[in-house]
Chain A
Amino acid sequence: MTKIVVVTSGKGGVGKTTTSAALATGLAQRGHKTTVIDFDVGLRNLDLIMGCERRVVYDLVNVINGDANLKQGLIKDKRVEDLFILPASQTRDKDALTLEGVEKVLEGLKDMGMEYIICDSPAGIEKGALTAAYFADEAVVVTNPEVSSVRDSDRILGILSSKTRRAELGEGDIPASLLLTRYSPERVERGEMLSVEDVTDILAIDLLGVIPESQAVLNASNSGAPVILDGDSDAGKAYQDAVARFLGEQRPHRFLTANKKGLFGRLFGAQ
C-alpha cells in the first residue's frame, strides 16, 4: 500500500523543501521505500537540499512527457537505502504538469513498490500547488510562527478540503497535520512570535512537530545533506521525532521552551 503525502504551506520560504527532504530521508532510514518528488517546476531546489544536483539527467516533466521512463528519472540516494528523488524541471513552467501525467508517474511509483511518495509542493495556491496536492492521501502543512504564514496555511487547508481527488470523490478531507518550523522559544517569550498554542488554536489541526530555528538547517542545505541526518542538531532530532509521530509513535514535543540561562549567563548576559 502506497501512501502519497503532500508537503505544502501556501507561503514560500517556510521550509517545505527542507521538510520534504527530512521526512523522506527519515522514512527511508526506517526502512520504508520512499520517493520524494519536487513539484516546483521552474524553481527546482530539492536536488540541492538532497545533494544530488550533479546527478540530474531527467526530471519530472521529462517523465510525464515520455522523454524518459520513470527508472531513468529517479535518482537513488547515495546515503540512505530505499530513498529516491525525482527532481523538477528547471527549464519548464508549471503548465507542463498535467493531472493525467502526474497520475501516471504516481501509478508507476506504486508499481515499483514505494511505501511513501512525498510531494514537495510549490508555494502559492495555483496550478502547481493544486497538482502536487491532488492525489495526496495525507497532508503535512508547514507553517512558520507568524501571522501571514498561518493565514496562508489556513487558506491551503481550505483548498485541500475541496480540491483533492479524495474530496472530489466525496471521500472527505484528507488528514492534515501541522509542522511548525523556525520556532524560537526565546522570541515567543518576548512576544515577538506566535506560540505553538496560538498556531494550533487558529489552524485546528494535529501537531506533527515543532522544528526549532537552527543554524543546522542552513548548514544542511548548504552541504546538500538533509538536516535529519545531523542527529546531533536540535532540528535533526526534532525532525526524527516528527517522522516517528508520522508513523504513529507517541513522542513528547521538545524544544518548546527557552534555554534557561545559567548563573554566568544571568550575571553577564547582555541585556
Chain B
Amino acid sequence: MTVAFEEKAVLEFKGRMLMMTVLLLKDLDPNTLHRQVSQRLDDAAQWLRDAPVVVDLAHPEDVDQVALMAAVDTLRGLGVNLVALARNEHLDSDTAAMLGLGSISLAGGRDVPRSAEPAPAAQTDQPAEAGHTLVIDQPVRSGQQIYSRGDLIVLAPVSTGAELLAEGHIHVYNTLRGRALAGVRGDQNARIFCQKLDAELVSIAGHYRVAEDLPDQHRKQAVHITLDGDAMRFADLK
C-alpha cells in the first residue's frame, strides 16, 4: 500500500517586468573604460550603481576574449551590477558563463532612452525619482511610447496600444486606454492617477494588472492606484 504525501510547494513562478540597463561597449580598452564609467558614476547616475546591467558589444564579431574579461573586471571593480551578456551569433552562453554572467537575448526588446541628461550635481545623492516631470498635452496614439525620468503628466487621451513609462508617478487627466507603467526603476511608492481607467495594463514597480484583472467597480472611473507590498490597490479618486 502506498501513501500519497502532499508536498508543500516550495516554489512559485511569477511573471515580472523588469527594466534592465544595456551598456553598449564600443571599445574594450580597460583604461578608457575605467575613466569614462567612473566619470558617469560620479556625474549622477545613482541608477547606474544599483541597476541590473546587460553588457552588449558594438563589435561582437571581432572581440578578443581576454580584452572582454579585462573589461568585465574593470566594470565589476567600479561596482557596476553586471548580470548578463547580450547573446548573438558571435557571443554564446558559454562565453557569458566563462565571465560569470548570464546570457540574454536583446532581440525583441525595446530601447528607452536612458542617458538623456545627467542629473544636476546638487541632486547626485537624490533617489531616481528626483528627475524632471514630463508634461504631455497631445493625445498619445497607438504605437507611441513616452518615457519620463521623473513623473509623467498627460492631459490628453492615451490610446489603446500606447505606452506610458515613468520612473515616478503617472497622472492621466483624461481616458487611459493604453498601458501605464509607473516606478519602472523599482520605486514602490510610485502611483498612477487617471480620470477614466480603461487601461490595457497598469504597473507599479514591476507589479502589474492586465485589463482583464482590473477591478470592475473601478472600470471607466477616476482611480488612484498604489502598491501595497505585493498587491496593487485601487481607490476611487473622488
Contact = CB atoms under 8 A, between A and B. Distances in A.
Interface of A: 151-152, 154-155, 157-159, 161, 173, 201-204
Contacts, number: 37
A202 B159 contact: yes
Given A154-B160, A155-B161, A201-B175, 16 more contacts: A151-B142, A151-B160, A151-B161, A154-B159, A155-B141, A157-B139, A158-B140, A158-B142, A158-B144, A158-B159, A161-B141, A201-B157, A202-B159, A202-B177, A203-B139, A204-B156
B217 interface: no
Contacts of A152: 142
The bracket for how many chain B residues form the interface is 10 to 19
B161 to A, nearest CB: 6
B145 to A, nearest CB: 10
Contacts of A154: 141-142, 159-161
A157 B156 CA distance: 14
A204 B139 CA distance: 7
Nearest to A205: B139
Nearest to A155: B142
A158 B143 CA distance: 7
B138 interface: yes
A173 B156 CA distance: 15
Contacts of B177: 202
Which residue of B140, B142, B144 has the most chain A CB atoms within 10 A of its CB atom?
A: B142
Which residue of A152, A158, A159, A173 has the most chain B CB atoms within 10 A of its CB atom?
A: A158
B141 A158 contact: yes
Main secondary structure of the interface of B (DSSP, over half): loop
A151 B161 CA distance: 8
Contacts of B156: 204
A176 B160 CA distance: 19
A201 to B, nearest CB: 7
A152 B141 CA distance: 10
Contacts of A202: 157, 159, 177
Interface in B146-165: 156-157, 159-162
Given A155-B161, A159-B143, A204-B156, A173 B175 contact: no
Contacts of B162: 158
Nearest to A152: B142
A158 B157 CA distance: 12
A197 to B, nearest CB: 13
6 contacts: A158-B140, A158-B159, A159-B143, A161-B138, A202-B157, A204-B139
Contacts of A159: 141, 143
Contacts of B159: 151, 154, 158, 202
A158 B156 CA distance: 13
Contacts of A204: 139, 156-157
A239 B138 CA distance: 29
A201 B157 CA distance: 9
A173 B162 CA distance: 18
A173 B138 contact: yes
Contacts of B160: 151, 154
A188 B141 CA distance: 25
Nearest to A162: B144
Interface in B12-43: none
A157 B157 contact: no
A99 B139 CA distance: 28
Interface in B108-160: 138-144, 156-157, 159-160
A201 B198 CA distance: 13
Given A151-B161, A202-B159, A204-B156, A157 B141 contact: yes
Nearest to B159: A154
A161 B140 CA distance: 10
Nearest to B143: A155
A191 to B, nearest CB: 16
Q: Kindly list the 5 A-B residue pairs having the minimum CB-CB distance in the complex, ordered from nearest.
A: A158-B141, A155-B142, A154-B142, A154-B159, A158-B144
A158 B159 CA distance: 10
A13 to B, nearest CB: 19
